[in-house]
Amino acid sequence: MLLLVSVSYFLYLFGLLPFPLSGFVFKFKDAVLQVLVPAFQRFHSSTSEREPTLLARAVAVSVAAPLSLSVRISAFTCLNSSCASVFFSCNSLVSVSRTSFFYSVDNTPLRSDFFYSEPDKDIDIYALLSDFKFTPNAQNEILAGIKATLIKSDNTFIFKKNGDIDRQRSNSFCYKEKNLEAYAQYTYTWDKLELSAGLRMEYMYTYNKLNSQTSQDAETNSQNHFRLFPNLSASYTINDKNKIALLYSRRQDKPRYEDLNPFEYLLDELSYWKGNPFLKPQVSNKIMLSYTWSNLSLNLYYNKLDDYFTSLTDVYGNNKTIMTTKNIGTQQQVGFDAVFSKRLTSWWELSATAGFYYFMNKLDYETYKHEYKRPSCFLSASNSVLLPLGINLEISGRYYSKRQGGSYEVSRPTGSMDIDLSKSWHDGRMHLSLLMTDVFHTERWDSYGIKDALNLSSWGYGESRKVMLRFSYSFGKQKFEKVDKNIEELNRL
């Protein structure tokens, strides 16, 4: 399969096939083999409108070595309180081989280079959390809790070009993060009215160290901050089918560990990807008015992101581009969405969502200042159908209109459809499912944008089409109350 897909890419690059073949992801017991569909990009960095002087095309194959994963969770409940401790350790070694072909403006082959990289990642996450719930009567409820987390990430990056180690790009990176959080929430219910107010406090400390193979001196950086995150809500139940609510919340989103890693990935000699160890969390303030009528929910909201971070493509040198993640300014979003969910018959359940948004990106970083605005819409639907023999069929699809990207780029319309067949036995203990995502292979990225002298056009396919067979079986009986804890740090892997 891998050979067939790779050959099709080479034939496509040289114009002998109208399109490349698609690839799947195969998961084995001790390894994961994935075929990455190449992205073809054209860039030019000049003040005139002439065509680019060099065109780069690349074919990449990525092989992930055995993943060492260790998770230990202990939890208990006692009266109105619960406590849990979590240890998560992840180690992976991924080798990426990439062959780049370079052409002149008239599509004449010039040369080819072979690039090889080995990013070794070792991430440990420790978490200790405890929650308390007090309900003195039917009208009052008090929630409180505390959480402490420690994250340690050690990374080593080896980069080779045409078989030789590139010491300018090979290095090691260490990242440490400590978080201490506490929250309190009070809810008061009187007849059909419910009022709630809460406050979360967080102290965060980060430290990172970069060691290069070409220098004895290490680059270090540390940050710390203390922040408050309040939330308020009020809801009124008109009757059994009608409810109205007003909500406000302030929260923060922290960058992924990979985005903090300053390793320089050479996609080809014209394109680079590099992490940013100076990234700060982005803070959002959101207010929403919600109305529920039977099976229909309507939501009108406004959201503002400060210290907004996103992946950005920028000019690097005279004729190169670099992709990195930066805090680039603020993003404002005004939106309205409608959510409908209903069981139409005894064997058919339908869920649908329609959303309309208006994005305003105000970029203000380094010496660049500019505003980008654009409306967009989103549609999705999911059908769950009960077939004979107790088999459940789920067909879901989604569509994104032309929309403003994270910064200055504009994304063209895209969409996809998934199909899932599943069946359960023994009172739900045994479950088998067969899932295929992006059935028609239509989920691709396709964007364009202009920033000063940079004219960007990017398109291609990711690992959207997959076939997954899943089997699960639950042993024994559940004797203790389940303690469900969401460890935010795990979502940043």
Q: Is the pLDDT of residue 450 over 50?
A: yes
pTM above 0.95, yes or no: no
**Which has more pLDDT, 34 or 475?**
475
**Which has more pLDDT, 77 or 111?**
111
pLDDT of residue 308: 93
Distance (Å, rounded) from C-alpha 306 to C-alpha 199?
19
pLDDT range class, residue 11, cuts 50, 70, 90: very low
pLDDT range class, residue 70, cuts 50, 70, 90: low
**Which has more pLDDT, 317 or 305?**
305
Distance (Å, rounded) from C-alpha 411 to C-alpha 255?
22
- Mean of all residue pLDDT scores within the chain: 79
In this structure, of 96-105, 156-165, 462-471, 481-490, the range with the lowest mean pLDDT score is 481-490
- Mean of the pLDDT values across residues 343-351? 95
Q: Return phi, psi of residue 8, to 5°.
A: -65, -35
- Mean of the pLDDT values across residues 340-347? 94
* Residue 13 token pair: 């690059």
Residue 435, CA distances (Å) to 2, 195, 431 in order: 21, 42, 13
Q: Is the pLDDT of residue 199 over 90?
A: yes
Residue 147 pairs in a beta bridge with 129, 181
pLDDT of residue 218: 77
Place of tokens 């290095």: 171
